[in-house]
Amino acid sequence: MSSLWIQRNAALRLLAVPVLVALGQLALTAGVMTVLSTLEIAGTAQATVATGVVVAVPLAVLTWVLSRRMDARAAESFGWLVPSAVALGASAVWVIPDLILSRRPYTDALLDTLPATAAWGFGMVVLLRAAAPHVSGPHSVRHRAATAAGAFLVLELSTAVDVLTSLSAQQAPHGFALLWYPSALSGLGAGGPLDPAVTLHNAVGAKAVLLTICTVFVLGLATARARRSEAAATAR
């Protein structure tokens, strides 16, 4: 019974993380947009870049700290399924408000969200399976760099899936497909309100920010878990 309670408690915590991140993302975005409107630069390319960076960076730092302080049982109870639980929470963040506010068929809401979050969850499971055993080993710096590169590729994959399911073939900026993720995140390359980079950022940027912060959280949990395991093995 105790084990079941621990698993339920851990599941609720993991599912709650994307919800809390989304609320923080919404609050920061509203604050940034208010400041930009006051400065009369809202809607410019500079404002697009500033919004992505100002929202993503502080939330990523806070999420990393949270992941390192979170109860170890949250990670240990689910192991490699941690990204799946977080992906489920991220999907709920998008699908539930969409169903309530837009009253669209639930199948449309799911098809707009699940492909990207499922791709992210699958990619993170594969990444953790491959990288976690080496995170705190003798070549940890090299392995951490490889893990960071792998996380970038996972985010590129999820963004590409999101673009292909959210934008038409005419709207998708194929000219810089390899930069879809950084462009969606920060508006990289934006040159005006009709610029393809702005279209990309407006269509999938918020989800890219959410999944970036969820990536930081999952990697933080994995790193803390690996270090605890190493410390326990050393103490024996």
Please report which confidence band the pLDDT of residue 5 belongs to, taking 50, 70 and 90 as the band edges.
very low
In this predicted model, what pLDDT tens digit does every residue of 145-181 receive, in sequence order? 888 899 999 999 999 999 988 887 777 777 777 788 8
The total of other beta-carbon atoms located within 10 Å of residue 142's CB is 11
Average pLDDT over residues 26-50: 71
CB of 222 closer than 8 Å to CB of 75 = yes
Under 8 Å between Cβ of 227 and 144: no
More confident residue, 11 or 210: 210
Cα distances from 85 to residues 16, 94, 116, 140, in angstroms, run 10, 15, 15, 27
Coil vs helix vs strand at 80: helix
Compare 159 and 24 and report the one with higher pLDDT: 159
**Whole-angstrom distance, CA of residue 25 vs CA of residue 58:** 10
- 212: tokens are 């970036």
- pLDDT band at residue 229 under the 50/70/90 scheme: low
Helix (H), strand (E) counts: the chain: 8, 0
DSSP sequence for 53-72: HHHHHHHHHHHHHHHHHS-H
CA distance linking residue 172 with residue 197, whole number of Å: 9
Domains identified in the chain, total number: 1
Alpha helices (H) in 39-139, listed in sequence order? 45-69, 72-76, 82-102, 106-131
Position 7, amino acid = Q
Residue bearing the bigger pLDDT, 9 or 115: 115
29, 90, 110, 186, 217 from 54: Cα distances, Å:
8, 21, 29, 9, 18
Structure tokens at 164: 């292909």
What residues make up the domain containing 230? 2-235
Torsion on CA atoms 223, 227, 232, 233, rounded to nearest 10: 100
For residue 125, pLDDT over 80 is answered with: yes
Residue 35 has pLDDT above 70, yes or no: yes
Q: Of the candidates 214, 105, 122, 217, which has an alpha carbon nearest to the alpha carbon of residue 161?
A: 122
Q: Which residues 6+ apart lie within 8 Å of 109 measured at CB? A: 94, 95, 98, 99, 102
